[in-house]
Amino acid sequence: MSGVGWAQAAATLFVGFVGLWLVHSYRRQARLKLIERQLDAYQKLWTLTAPATPERTTPMTGPERVEVHDAMVNWYFTDGDGIFASAPTRDIFVAFRTNLVCPVESMVPRSLAADLAQLPAADAERRRGCVAIRQASLLRAQLKADLSLHFGLNYYSRLLPEDRAFLTSCGISTRRRPWRSSPVRKPRLAGVNNCVCGLCPTA
Protein backbone atom coordinates (compact mmCIF):
# COMPACT_ATOMS: atom_id res chain seq x y z
CA MET A 1 0.00 0.00 0.00
CA SER A 2 1.30 3.43 -0.95
CA GLY A 3 1.84 6.27 1.44
CA VAL A 4 -1.36 7.91 0.21
CA GLY A 5 -3.27 4.69 0.82
CA TRP A 6 -1.96 4.45 4.36
CA ALA A 7 -2.90 8.06 5.00
CA GLN A 8 -6.42 7.49 3.72
CA ALA A 9 -6.79 4.36 5.85
CA ALA A 10 -5.52 6.19 8.93
CA ALA A 11 -7.89 9.08 8.26
CA THR A 12 -10.82 6.67 7.91
CA LEU A 13 -9.94 4.97 11.20
CA PHE A 14 -9.56 8.33 12.91
CA VAL A 15 -12.95 9.55 11.65
CA GLY A 16 -14.52 6.29 12.76
CA PHE A 17 -12.95 6.57 16.19
CA VAL A 18 -14.13 10.17 16.58
CA GLY A 19 -17.63 9.13 15.51
CA LEU A 20 -17.76 6.34 18.09
CA TRP A 21 -16.45 8.67 20.78
CA LEU A 22 -19.11 11.26 19.94
CA VAL A 23 -21.88 8.64 20.07
CA HIS A 24 -20.58 7.35 23.41
CA SER A 25 -20.29 10.88 24.77
CA TYR A 26 -23.83 11.72 23.66
CA ARG A 27 -25.26 8.59 25.25
CA ARG A 28 -23.33 9.26 28.44
CA GLN A 29 -24.65 12.81 28.63
CA ALA A 30 -28.18 11.60 27.95
CA ARG A 31 -27.83 8.97 30.67
CA LEU A 32 -26.58 11.54 33.17
CA LYS A 33 -29.58 13.75 32.40
CA LEU A 34 -31.93 10.81 32.93
CA ILE A 35 -30.27 10.01 36.26
CA GLU A 36 -30.65 13.63 37.36
CA ARG A 37 -34.32 13.56 36.33
CA GLN A 38 -34.89 10.31 38.19
CA LEU A 39 -33.29 11.74 41.32
CA ASP A 40 -35.58 14.76 41.13
CA ALA A 41 -38.63 12.54 40.64
CA TYR A 42 -37.65 10.27 43.55
CA GLN A 43 -37.11 13.25 45.84
CA LYS A 44 -40.65 14.42 45.15
CA LEU A 45 -42.08 10.95 45.74
CA TRP A 46 -40.15 10.67 49.00
CA THR A 47 -41.56 13.99 50.17
CA LEU A 48 -45.18 13.25 49.35
CA THR A 49 -45.07 10.05 51.45
CA ALA A 50 -44.14 12.09 54.53
CA PRO A 51 -47.55 11.53 56.21
CA ALA A 52 -46.57 7.84 56.38
CA THR A 53 -43.32 8.48 58.25
CA PRO A 54 -42.18 5.55 60.44
CA GLU A 55 -41.79 8.05 63.27
CA ARG A 56 -45.58 8.27 63.64
CA THR A 57 -47.09 7.03 66.87
CA THR A 58 -50.60 6.60 65.46
CA PRO A 59 -51.92 4.83 62.34
CA MET A 60 -52.72 6.83 59.24
CA THR A 61 -56.33 7.92 59.04
CA GLY A 62 -58.62 7.35 56.08
CA PRO A 63 -58.41 10.98 54.89
CA GLU A 64 -54.61 10.90 55.17
CA ARG A 65 -54.47 7.77 53.03
CA VAL A 66 -56.69 9.37 50.41
CA GLU A 67 -54.50 12.48 50.37
CA VAL A 68 -51.31 10.46 49.85
CA HIS A 69 -53.02 8.32 47.19
CA ASP A 70 -54.12 11.38 45.23
CA ALA A 71 -50.65 12.92 45.48
CA MET A 72 -49.12 9.70 44.18
CA VAL A 73 -51.50 9.61 41.22
CA ASN A 74 -50.56 13.21 40.42
CA TRP A 75 -46.85 12.38 40.71
CA TYR A 76 -47.14 9.41 38.37
CA PHE A 77 -49.41 10.81 35.67
CA THR A 78 -49.85 14.58 35.85
CA ASP A 79 -46.21 15.40 36.54
CA GLY A 80 -45.03 12.45 34.44
CA ASP A 81 -42.49 11.37 37.05
CA GLY A 82 -43.67 7.76 36.96
CA ILE A 83 -41.81 7.21 33.70
CA PHE A 84 -38.51 7.41 35.60
CA ALA A 85 -39.40 4.68 38.12
CA SER A 86 -37.59 1.37 37.90
CA ALA A 87 -39.67 -1.78 37.48
CA PRO A 88 -39.39 -2.81 41.18
CA THR A 89 -40.23 0.72 42.33
CA ARG A 90 -43.19 0.90 39.96
CA ASP A 91 -44.57 -2.43 41.20
CA ILE A 92 -44.27 -1.50 44.89
CA PHE A 93 -45.62 1.98 44.11
CA VAL A 94 -48.74 0.64 42.39
CA ALA A 95 -49.47 -1.92 45.11
CA PHE A 96 -48.97 0.58 47.94
CA ARG A 97 -51.00 3.28 46.21
CA THR A 98 -53.85 0.85 45.52
CA ASN A 99 -53.84 -0.48 49.09
CA LEU A 100 -54.34 3.03 50.42
CA VAL A 101 -57.90 3.37 49.15
CA CYS A 102 -59.14 0.13 47.57
CA PRO A 103 -61.79 -2.10 49.19
CA VAL A 104 -60.32 -4.35 51.86
CA GLU A 105 -60.98 -7.47 49.80
CA SER A 106 -58.84 -6.07 46.96
CA MET A 107 -55.74 -5.39 49.08
CA VAL A 108 -52.48 -7.26 48.64
CA PRO A 109 -51.19 -9.53 49.87
CA ARG A 110 -54.34 -11.63 49.97
CA SER A 111 -53.43 -12.85 53.44
CA LEU A 112 -53.63 -9.26 54.68
CA ALA A 113 -57.03 -8.78 53.07
CA ALA A 114 -58.26 -11.96 54.76
CA ASP A 115 -56.96 -10.85 58.17
CA LEU A 116 -58.55 -7.40 57.89
CA ALA A 117 -61.87 -8.89 56.84
CA GLN A 118 -62.05 -10.79 60.13
CA LEU A 119 -61.57 -7.70 62.29
CA PRO A 120 -64.24 -5.27 63.48
CA ALA A 121 -64.45 -2.28 61.17
CA ALA A 122 -62.72 0.13 63.57
CA ASP A 123 -59.86 -2.29 64.25
CA ALA A 124 -59.47 -3.05 60.55
CA GLU A 125 -59.20 0.67 59.84
CA ARG A 126 -56.52 1.12 62.50
CA ARG A 127 -54.48 -1.83 61.29
CA ARG A 128 -54.82 -0.67 57.69
CA GLY A 129 -53.42 2.70 58.68
CA CYS A 130 -50.51 0.99 60.41
CA VAL A 131 -49.82 -1.26 57.42
CA ALA A 132 -49.75 1.82 55.17
CA ILE A 133 -46.85 3.22 57.21
CA ARG A 134 -44.86 0.02 56.82
CA GLN A 135 -45.53 -0.27 53.11
CA ALA A 136 -44.50 3.34 52.57
CA SER A 137 -41.19 2.50 54.27
CA LEU A 138 -40.74 -0.44 51.90
CA LEU A 139 -41.31 1.88 48.94
CA ARG A 140 -38.77 4.40 50.22
CA ALA A 141 -36.24 1.61 50.82
CA GLN A 142 -36.61 0.62 47.16
CA LEU A 143 -36.07 4.22 46.09
CA LYS A 144 -32.78 4.26 47.99
CA ALA A 145 -31.79 0.93 46.46
CA ASP A 146 -32.44 2.31 42.96
CA LEU A 147 -30.13 5.23 43.67
CA SER A 148 -27.48 2.98 45.24
CA LEU A 149 -27.75 4.77 48.56
CA HIS A 150 -27.57 1.63 50.69
CA PHE A 151 -23.84 1.10 50.17
CA GLY A 152 -24.27 -2.62 50.68
CA LEU A 153 -26.02 -2.27 54.05
CA ASN A 154 -29.45 -3.73 54.64
CA TYR A 155 -32.24 -1.35 55.54
CA TYR A 156 -34.16 -3.69 57.79
CA SER A 157 -33.03 -5.85 60.67
CA ARG A 158 -35.68 -8.30 59.55
CA LEU A 159 -38.80 -8.45 57.44
CA LEU A 160 -42.00 -9.58 59.06
CA PRO A 161 -43.95 -12.29 57.20
CA GLU A 162 -46.50 -9.64 56.22
CA ASP A 163 -43.73 -7.51 54.69
CA ARG A 164 -42.37 -10.48 52.76
CA ALA A 165 -45.82 -11.38 51.51
CA PHE A 166 -46.39 -7.82 50.29
CA LEU A 167 -43.05 -7.67 48.47
CA THR A 168 -43.63 -11.11 46.96
CA SER A 169 -47.05 -9.99 45.71
CA CYS A 170 -45.17 -7.14 43.97
CA GLY A 171 -42.83 -9.61 42.28
CA ILE A 172 -39.89 -8.62 44.51
CA SER A 173 -37.41 -11.22 45.74
CA THR A 174 -36.67 -10.86 49.45
CA ARG A 175 -33.47 -12.86 48.95
CA ARG A 176 -31.82 -9.87 47.31
CA ARG A 177 -30.67 -6.52 48.62
CA PRO A 178 -31.92 -4.40 50.21
CA TRP A 179 -34.33 -7.00 51.62
CA ARG A 180 -31.93 -9.83 52.39
CA SER A 181 -31.36 -10.09 56.13
CA SER A 182 -27.85 -9.74 57.52
CA PRO A 183 -26.70 -11.64 60.62
CA VAL A 184 -23.69 -9.34 60.97
CA ARG A 185 -24.75 -5.75 60.38
CA LYS A 186 -27.07 -3.82 62.63
CA PRO A 187 -30.27 -2.29 61.19
CA ARG A 188 -29.95 1.28 59.95
CA LEU A 189 -33.46 2.17 61.09
CA ALA A 190 -34.19 0.37 64.31
CA GLY A 191 -37.78 1.54 64.73
CA VAL A 192 -39.06 0.70 61.28
CA ASN A 193 -40.62 -2.59 62.38
CA ASN A 194 -42.75 -0.97 65.06
CA CYS A 195 -46.51 -1.43 65.14
CA VAL A 196 -48.53 1.65 66.12
CA CYS A 197 -51.99 0.04 66.08
CA GLY A 198 -51.45 -2.84 68.51
CA LEU A 199 -53.04 -5.28 66.06
CA CYS A 200 -50.23 -6.27 63.70
CA PRO A 201 -48.62 -9.73 64.04
CA THR A 202 -45.06 -9.47 65.36
CA ALA A 203 -43.74 -12.75 63.97
For 22-67, what is each residue's pLDDT tens digit? 444 545 565 657 788 999 999 999 999 999 999 999 999 999 999 9
160 or 40: whose pLDDT is higher?
Answer: 40
What percentage of the chain carries pLDDT values higher than 70?
Answer: 72
Using CB atoms within 10 A of its CB, is residue 167 exposed (0-12), middle (13-18) or buried (19+)?
A: buried
pLDDT band with cut points at 50, 70 and 90 for residue 160: confident
pLDDT at 138: 94
* DSSP 8-state class, residue 178: T
pLDDT at 57: 94
Contacts of 169 (CB under 8 A, 6+ apart): 95, 108, 109, 110
pLDDT band with cut points at 50, 70 and 90 for residue 189: very low
pLDDT at 176: 83
What whole-number distance in Å separates Cα of residue 35 and Cα of residue 41?
Answer: 10
CB count in 10 Å sphere of residue 44: 15
Mean pLDDT of 186-201: 69
Mean pLDDT of 164-188: 78
pLDDT at 99: 98
pLDDT at 194: 75
**Per-residue pLDDT at 172 exceeds 90:** yes
pTM above 0.85, yes or no: no
Helices (H) and strands (E) in the chain, counts: 6, 0
What whole-number distance in Å separates Cα of residue 191 and Cα of residue 203?
Answer: 15
